[in-house]
Chains A and B, each alone.
Chain A
Amino acid sequence: MIYYEFKSYLRNVFGSWGTKMPIDSPPAVSVWRAPQLSLRFWPVFLRNLLVWRKLAIPSLVGNIAEPLMWLVAFGYGMGALVGPMRLGGGEEVPYILFLASGSICMSAMQSASFEALYSAFSRMHVQKTWDGIMNAPVALDDIVLAEMLWAAFKSLFTVTAILVVMLVLGISHSPKLLLAWPILLGVGITFSCIALIFNALANGYDFFTYYFTLFLTPMTFLSGVFFPLEQLPVLVRMVADWLPLSNAVALVRPLFLDQWPTQWLQPALVLLAYALVSFWVALALTRKRFRK
């Protein structure tokens, strides 16, 4: 009752202006509105899982063969030339262990990025899978969430396979690797969120080559994967310290050495901030792409 009285009061005050705006008229919604996530993302995740199950073994070989070749060739070959690495704390570690702890982060990054770019773009733009899904009661936000988690899951799968090989090769037997595993999932999540921004902006696969060669590859060299950050000039280092990959390496490398990270809060927060901000931006840009 009160509602109707209030409505008639408004009508008296505003006259016909109130009646021209039907109550159901949709407001102009911003693409930057908060993410509206629901459990409807799960069937979309399952869809990707079902496709992947058919191709898992061949794709696994491709996913882990390259990082392992790098590790073996550089780790043993270069390792023999450069000798043990002296870390910030003064202790010395074999180069292969130094490299392994950095390159596992690089693999998590590459695997998540590849899936959230090439594969997600195929589903979104080429196959129009997303359009089909949105005709069912699943919203775009759910699809973007599913793609993000899917890319992170695939990267975790790759990382797990590489970790197993590293254990077999005896590169590290640190029990703290158990903790590295969920952290690497977080690294996968962060990089799939970032990649989805570029997925939303892409107009073809060529665009992703720029992302890999202009963004990911230079970042790899600035993040302490192949050589310690201390080698970099101070100015470059100031940038490097805030890169997502260098923060991932800062968290994961000590665990490979059976040590606790001296600083864990800051790198964890940096990764979290990258993930949250990137997901929001990716979602907004994807909404904009689909607003036609």
Chain B
Amino acid sequence: MAAPLFDVRALVKRFGASTVVDELSFSIAPGECLGVIGPNGAGKTTTIRMCLGLTAPDSGTISAFGLSMPRDDRAIKAQLGVVAQMDTLDPDFTCAENLLVYGRYFGLKDADIRARTPQLLEFASLTSKANAKPGELSGGMKRRLSLARALVNDPKLLLLDEPTTGLDPQARHLMWERLQALLQQGKSILLTTHFMDEAERLCSRLLVLDHGKCIAQGAPRDLIEQHLEREVVEVYGQGALALADAPVRALASRVEVSGETVFFYTNESAAVLQALGAYPDLRTLHRPANLEDLFLKLTGRQIRDDS
């Protein structure tokens, strides 16, 4: 295996009495897309802030490109591209000016940035908006401008904090397509997300974070195989909840109840489906187990408000 591009060892961050990041270790190989998934308040954003040297860890080490944080923070950040959770675009500047001004923060020459600008705008599908201000852009366009801005210094590694939150399906798909293109160019990506389809589609490896701890890690398909049965039968409708204690329960390897829906997890769905045939009034949904099931199994179904 190639030497990691980015390496985090035993990272710990406490705010007062609560430990937000707890002995977290991970690394990113060149060309890899690592996804970090976890409920609100799991420590995703704090981890990214520590990777950028913006928050000082209480212990642990962060090294990247053969340099170490926080000693070489400028040299490391010169090779990173960041898309934060909230857009920080300059509302008074056009798209092209946003790229110019941001490139200057990296010490790039105006002429070099101007030469790269058309290419960056085209990558973000914003060529026709070069002279528009962020206020005139849609949510998806703003995010793509943020992505183009993060690419102004031709970074080796991109840190993306929920890059598609709040976007409509078209805009999300376009963003995914762009990120896949970047991976094909050989860039590495660290991505946090709440969308399991996004994680499954883009990430070669996943880190499941909860209460600041890594509770599982591996390739998306491997994780599903490791932790879940192959299939799920969801049952809902009048009287569905009673099934959780009916004999059909014995046919599934695991049963979960959430709201008005009963989930039968099984490797042999035929028997479960046959038994459910006795309840024609109930609605069933039979599907392969997915990352969302894994996520809910590992982190629980209760709502987290402590974001």
Contact = CB atoms under 8 A, between A and B. Distances in A.
Interface stretch (A125-133, A183-191, A263-271): A125-133
B84 A127 contact: no
Contact of B88 (A24, A43, A54, A128): A128
Interface string B72-106: 01110110101010101111110001000110111
Chain B: interface residue count, which band? 35 or more
Interface in A10-55: 22, 24-26, 28-29, 40, 43-44, 46-47, 50-51, 54
Contact of A137 (B61, B70, B78): B78
A136 B77 contact: yes
Chain B CB within 10 Å — which of A47, A128, A129 has the most? Answer: A47
A262 interface: no
Given A26-B70, A46-B104, A47-B101, A127 B56 contact: no
B86 A128 contact: yes
Given A47-B101, A50-B97, A136-B105, A26 B88 contact: no
Contact of B105 (A25, A51, A128, A138): A138
A127 B88 contact: yes
Chain A: interface residue count, which band? 20 to 34
A22 B73 CA distance: 18
Contacts of A290: 54
The majority secondary structure among interface residues of chain A is loop
Nearest to A55: B92
Chain B CB within 10 Å — which of A29, A46, A134 has the most? Answer: A134
A199 to B, nearest CB: 18
Interface string A47-89: 1001100100000000000000000000000000000000000
Nearest to B90: A129
B106 A137 contact: yes
A39 B15 CA distance: 33
Contact of A43 (B59, B84, B101, B153): B101
Contacts of A51: 90, 92-93
Nearest to A290: B54
B107 interface: yes
Contacts of A137: 73-75, 77-78, 105-107
B88 A22 contact: no
B115 to A, nearest CB: 18
Contacts of B56: 26, 28-29, 291
B88 A44 contact: no
A4 B55 CA distance: 31
B57 interface: yes
Contacts of B93: 50-51
26 contacts: A24-B61, A24-B63, A24-B68, A25-B59, A25-B60, A25-B61, A40-B74, A40-B105, A40-B107, A43-B101, A46-B101, A46-B104, A50-B93, A50-B101, A51-B90, A127-B88, A129-B88, A129-B90, A132-B84, A132-B88, A135-B80, A135-B82, A136-B106, A137-B105, A291-B55, A291-B56
Interface of B: 15, 49, 52, 54-57, 59-61, 63, 68-71, 73-75, 77-78, 80, 82, 84, 86, 88-93, 97, 101-102, 104-107, 153
Interface of A: 22, 24-26, 28-29, 40, 43-44, 46-47, 50-51, 54, 127-129, 131-139, 290-292
Going nearest first, the 9 A-B pairs with the smallest beta carbon separation are A132-B88, A136-B105, A43-B104, A135-B82, A137-B74, A137-B77, A128-B88, A51-B92, A24-B61
Given A26-B56, A51-B93, A134-B52, 19 more contacts: A24-B71, A25-B61, A40-B107, A43-B105, A43-B107, A46-B101, A50-B101, A54-B92, A127-B90, A131-B86, A132-B89, A135-B52, A135-B82, A135-B84, A137-B73, A137-B74, A137-B105, A290-B54, A291-B55
